[in-house]
Chain A
Amino acid sequence: MAGKIIIETERCKGCGLCVVVCPKGCIEISTESNKNGFFPAQPVPSVVEGAGNTDCTGCAICGIICPEAIIEVLRDDANDASIKIAARPGKKTVQRHSCESRSLRK
């Protein structure tokens, strides 16, 4: 399990932008409404439990697009897949599978 997201579903307005932008399809719209009457976004169950298809890489694209800023993204920093990038000192490590250009993939 490389990444994990926490969505404050009670404040979600269900716009669904995170669902659209998630490259791994790890977010879905809930079938139950929250207290405000919106159908909130939620992580697909496998991501929460840490078992099965845990495709979340912790790329934080959902957090970047969320207009309500209610998504917290966690990433497993002890993951062996992270590589140090010497050319960019400010950017210490990167997950191999979170590289959008795919140039870090083997």
Chain B
Amino acid sequence: MKTVFKRTPTLKDCPTHYCPGCGHGIAHRLIAETIDELGIRGRTIGIAPVGCAVLAYDYLDVDMIEVAHGRAPAVATGMKRTNPDKIIFSYQGDGDLAAIGTAEIIHAAHRAEQLTVIFINNAVFGMTGGQMAPTTLLGQVTATTPKGRNAAGEGYPLQVSEILALLPGAIYVERCALSGAAGVRKTKKAIKHAFELQVEAAEGLSLVEVLSPCPTYWRMTPAKAMEWIEKEMVKVFPLGRLKG
């Protein structure tokens, strides 16, 4: 018998701190596999977000840096401009990228920075206790919207990928979901393409939005959370290649 699937070397062989069924573990593995397949482990620098994935540098065996909340695209800009031969990627959650870091990501795309951004959208602030995020769905119950998000009071879910796809500086924007094996495979393809664009020095920002489950703060079992992505989340955040 031969091994057809096992842990990739870039993903450190240690347990994660994530809750059972969390999508971050899958996303980390996809990034690690992509780095190994492209053979760029020695020249990749990652940026960890503030949020649940703040300890991503403990799990990915590449050079990583931790930056202030939402400022990853700004720091990445400096890193890429001073080290053009390095592969810079930022890993950001929806609280990091869509809330406090909206200005940074929009202007990084607007300046056509050669970065790869992995945007994990789980519709809540996971680390701080499941509060409403800009990406929270209408009617979704969170710690700060106990009666469900109401458009009159809290506004509508923010579709960052659609906004970025309008900018000429963003060359590749795709939205995928980690629901089911097919979704994970598609996400892998998208992440790999985003990295390949930077390896080939394509001029512009590539962003992959990943709809990821948060079973703990959605108050569901992991299997139900995957179903919820497929049934509810994709209605507000339609999957597919938005640009590129």
CB closest chain-B residue, reference A58: B4
Contact in complex: B25, A67 (CB < 8 Å) = yes
Whole-angstrom distance between the Cβ of A71 and the nearest chain B Cβ: 7
Residues of B close to A69: CB separation below 8 A: 7-8, 11, 25, 29
A49 at interface, CB cutoff 8 A = no
B5 touches A71 (CB 8 A): yes
When distances are taken between beta carbons in the complex, the residues of chain A under 8 Å from B1 are 4, 74-77
Closest Cβ neighbor of B24 among chain A residues: A67
Interface size band for B: 20 to 34
Please tell me if B223 contacts chain A, counting CB pairs below 8 Å.
yes
Find the A residue at minimum CB distance from B15: A11
What's the Cα separation between A13 and B18 when bound, in Å? 9
Contacts of A63 in B (CB 8 A): 5-6
**Residue pair A74, B4 in contact (C-beta under 8 Å):** yes
Q: Across the interface, do B21 and A67 meet the contact criterion of CB distance under 8 Å?
A: yes
A17 near B: Cβ within 8 Å? yes
Q: Is B23 an interface residue, CB under 8 A from the partner?
A: yes
Contact B222 A16 (CB under 8 A): yes
Contact between A15 and B222 (Cβ–Cβ < 8 Å)? yes
A residues 46-75 near B (Cβ < 8 Å) are 58, 60-61, 63-75
Contact of A70 among B7, B19, B221 (CB under 8 A): B7
Bound Cα distance from A95 to B1, whole angstroms = 13
Q: Across the interface, do B2 and A68 meet the contact criterion of CB distance under 8 Å? A: no
Q: Are B180 and A73 in contact, with the CB atoms below 8 A?
A: no
Shortest beta-carbon distance from B159 to chain A in Å? 26
The chain A residue with its CB closest to the CB of B222 is A15
Which chain B residues lie closer than 8 Å to A13 at the CB level?
19-21
Given A15-B215, A38-B20, A76-B1, A68–B226 Cβ distance below 8 Å? no
Chain B residues whose CB sits within 8 angstroms of the CB of A85 once the complex forms: none
Query: Inside 8 A of A20's CB, which chain B residues have their CB?
Result: 223, 226
Whether A73 and B4, one on each chain, are in contact in the complex, defined by CB atoms closer than 8 angstroms, is yes
Q: Is A83 an interface residue (CB 8 A)?
A: no
Measured between alpha carbons, how far is A33 from B18 in the docked complex, in Å? Answer: 18
- From residue B107, how far is it (CB to closest CB) to chain A in Å? 33
CA A76 to CA B8, docked complex, whole Å: 21
List the 9 closest A-B pairs by CB distance, nearest first.
A67-B25, A15-B21, A13-B20, A15-B20, A60-B5, A73-B5, A63-B5, A15-B222, A74-B1
- The 13 sampled A-B contact pairs (Cβ below 8 Å) are A11-B15, A13-B19, A13-B20, A16-B221, A17-B21, A17-B222, A17-B223, A38-B20, A60-B4, A64-B181, A67-B26, A68-B15, A74-B1
Known pairs A13-B20, A69-B25 / 13 extra A-B pairs, C-beta < 8 Å = A4-B1, A13-B19, A17-B226, A20-B226, A60-B5, A64-B181, A64-B184, A65-B26, A67-B21, A67-B24, A69-B8, A70-B7, A72-B7
Q: Which residues of A contact B (CB under 8 A)?
A: 4, 11, 13-17, 20-21, 38, 58, 60-61, 63-77
